[in-house]
Structure 1
Amino acid sequence: MNAPESHQNFPKERNRSRDSVYAAPREKIGDFVFDETVADVFPDMIQRSVPGYDTITSLIGVLAGRYAQPNSTCYDLGCSLGAATLSMRRRLHQPGCRIVAVDNSEAMIRRCRQNIDADASAPPVDILCTDILDVKIRNASVVVLNFILQFIHPEQRLQALSNIYQGLLPGGILILSEKIRFSDLKQQTFHTEMHYAFKKDNGYSDLEISQKRAALEKVLIPETLTEHRERLLAAGFARCDVWF
Structure 2
Amino acid sequence: MVDDFLLRALAAGAGVALIAGPLGAFVVWRRMAYFGDTIAHAALLGVALSLLIEIDLTLGVFVAAALTSVLLLVLERRRALPTDALLGILAHSTLAIGLVIVALMEGVRVDLLSYLFGDILAVGARDLWLIWIGGAVVLALLAWIWRPLLAATVSEELAEAEGLKPQRARLLFMLAMALTIAIAMKIVGILLITSLLIIPAAAARRFAATPEAMAALASLIGVAAVAAGLSGSWFWDTPSGPSIVVAALLGFLISFVAVRRRTA
What interval of TM-score do these two structures reach, taking the shorter chain for normalisation?
Answer: under 0.3
Indicate the structure whose relative CO is greater, using CA pairs within 8 Å and at least 6 residues apart.
Answer: 2
More helix by share: 2
Higher CA-based Rg: 2
Larger proportion of strand? 1
With normalisation by structure 1, the TM-score equals 0.25
TM-score by length of 2: 0.23
